[in-house]
Amino acid sequence: MSSARASGEAAPAEQPLAAPIMVVGIGADGPEGLSPRALALVERAEVLCGGERHLAFFPEHPARRVAIRANVETLLRRLRRLAVRKRVVVLASGDPLCFGIGARLVEAFGPERVRVLPHPSAAQLAFARLGLPWHDAVVLSAHGRELAPVVARALAARTVAILTDPRHTPAVIARALLEAGMEPCQAYVLERLEHPDERITALRLDELEGREFDPLNVLVLRRERVWQPLSLGLPDDAYAHRAGMITKAEVRAVAISKLRVAAESVVWDIGAGCGSVALEVAGLILGGRVYAVERDPEQLALLEQNRQRHPRPNLEVVTGEAPAALRALPDPDAVFVGGSGGQLGTILRAVFRRLRPGGRLVLNAVLLETVSEAQRRCARAGWPTELCQVAVARGEPTAGGVRLAAANPVFILAAQRPERA
């Protein structure tokens, strides 16, 4: 649930609006690029809202002017009051529904109270200038956002457009992509699109480092090969591990399936060990984030080796002991407990407090006592559970044939936090 909905701002307005809020996309060419219909809407506005750059296109407009600044919640409250009595027009760059204010307005007022007239987006203009088809391109934004999910999704795409900001410049993004394992592919930086001095720079991704560009730019990447996410249940020898201390491939696949992660989930892996579970989950959730919590220095060294072998920009290693190490982490959508270090009770209490409604807890255990304690605590919390045992026997050659060598059976306990307490 968004912060707007949680605060009550996203509920449809109780009072009828004087007219639907009109959201008009506008380009760098200002009023000249607007259609007659869009221009007429702007001219009839009684409240004209937009960024300072957009409002500057209409210096003589008689409407009440409302500038969009950082506090969007304050803006929504103000527009709600004004729209009851006046015709409101909101100016936004390009397509307002492509990483723009349009989505927040629709969420806040309801689709029946908002009308959107898009202008070509920065990504559309960039592909048009390059003459590149973009029906299968991935459009991402690093503007005011965390960079790791952007990098993870870019790694999995062949054609990418990334909207930048003064902090996440093309050079910064290029460095993050290269560190995550992207090859030095073809890159284009398109600056000041639709301005008279617009410029296109073509170079390799590794040539972007140290380069400076106008703040108004779009980064486009064209690649010959694409990063592939990890498959579920890679062979154990795909990872560096200590004396067999790894969640076995078959058990790993079942446990991860029980997490039921979504594309943008936040996941905790508590007692991550060498990182096999965390790395495979990170490969499944390109827009999400995985936090691998581990206290053992030797395991942390192995985890880092495995992260170098299987780069995952959306995986963050958290050094420390749970539950203390969990305090600074964002609330999770799913939690995997692979080891508790004798702190199972306190770890589960932290999970009961922090796991989001509908979220999943999965715990691997080899001892009956561990799974029994976890079941009791989940029952007291009112969380329904399911339990399975995975017993794997692998074929080994012997005396001209194959025998089955059994591994220790593992209990997998899965629990789900109710949607409502």
pLDDT of residue 177: 93
Q: In 3D, which of 358, 356, 355, 228 has the Cα closest to residue 280?
A: 228
Above 60 in pLDDT, residue 5? no
Distance CA 315, CA 290 (A): 5
The H or E element that residue 415 is part of is strand 410-416
Q: Does residue 384 belong to any structural domain of this protein?
A: yes
Q: In one letter, which amino acid is 171? A: A
Q: Does residue 11 belong to any structural domain of this protein?
A: no
pLDDT of residue 230: 66
The H or E element that residue 128 is part of is helix 122-130
pLDDT of residue 152: 85
Q: Which of the 8 DSSP states describes residue 407?
A: P
CA distances from 177 to 208, 337, 363 (A): 11, 30, 33
The H or E element that residue 26 is part of is strand 21-26
User: How many distinct structural domains can be found in the chain?
Assistant: 3
Above 70 in pLDDT, residue 229? no
Task: Check which CATH number belongs to the domain holding 62 and give it.
Answer: 3.40.1010.10
Regarding whether 178 and 323 lie in a shared domain, the answer is: no
Domain that holds residue 316: 236-416
Regarding whether 295 and 169 lie in a shared domain, the answer is: no
Regarding whether 275 and 180 lie in a shared domain, the answer is: no
Q: Which of 173, 191, 222 is the last residue of a domain?
A: 222
CA distances from 344 to 297, 373, 374, 376 (A): 20, 8, 8, 12
Q: Does residue 1 belong to any structural domain of this protein?
A: no
Regarding whether 204 and 71 lie in a shared domain, the answer is: no
Q: Which of 88, 119, 150 is the last residue of a domain?
A: 119
pLDDT of residue 42: 96
Q: Does residue 9 belong to any structural domain of this protein?
A: no
Regarding whether 285 and 399 lie in a shared domain, the answer is: yes
Per-residue pLDDT reduced to its tens digit, 173-210: 999 999 888 899 999 999 999 989 999 999 999 999 88
Q: Which of 92, 119, 146 is the last residue of a domain?
A: 119
Q: Does residue 7 belong to any structural domain of this protein?
A: no
Regarding whether 320 and 201 lie in a shared domain, the answer is: no
At a CB cut-off of 8 Å and minimum separation 6, what does 107 contact? 2, 4, 5, 10
Residue 190 in 3-state DSSP? Answer: strand
Regarding whether 86 and 48 lie in a shared domain, the answer is: yes
Distance CA 51, CA 65 (A): 10
pLDDT of residue 263: 86
Regarding whether 245 and 210 lie in a shared domain, the answer is: no
Regarding whether 287 and 255 lie in a shared domain, the answer is: yes
In 20-95, which residue ranges form alpha helices assigned H by DSSP? 36-44, 52-55, 72-83
pLDDT of residue 228: 66
pLDDT of residue 225: 78
Place of tokens 């639709």: 194
Residue 161 in 3-state DSSP? Answer: strand
Q: Does residue 134 belong to any structural domain of this protein?
A: yes
pLDDT of residue 70: 79
**Dihedrals φ, ψ of 47, to 5°?**
-130, 125
Regarding whether 248 and 166 lie in a shared domain, the answer is: no
Distance CA 183, CA 228 (A): 13
Task: Check which CATH number belongs to the domain holding 150 and give it.
Answer: 3.30.950.10
Regarding whether 73 and 53 lie in a shared domain, the answer is: yes
Distance CA 83, CA 13 (A): 10
Question: Average pLDDT of 81-102?
Answer: 95
Question: Average pLDDT of 249-273?
Answer: 95
Regarding whether 146 and 109 lie in a shared domain, the answer is: no
| Poorest-pLDDT segment among 80-89, 125-134, 309-318 | 309-318
Q: Does residue 394 belong to any structural domain of this protein?
A: yes
Task: Check which CATH number belongs to the domain holding 386 and give it.
Answer: 3.40.50.150
CB 253 within 8 A of CB 232: yes
Q: Does residue 6 belong to any structural domain of this protein?
A: no
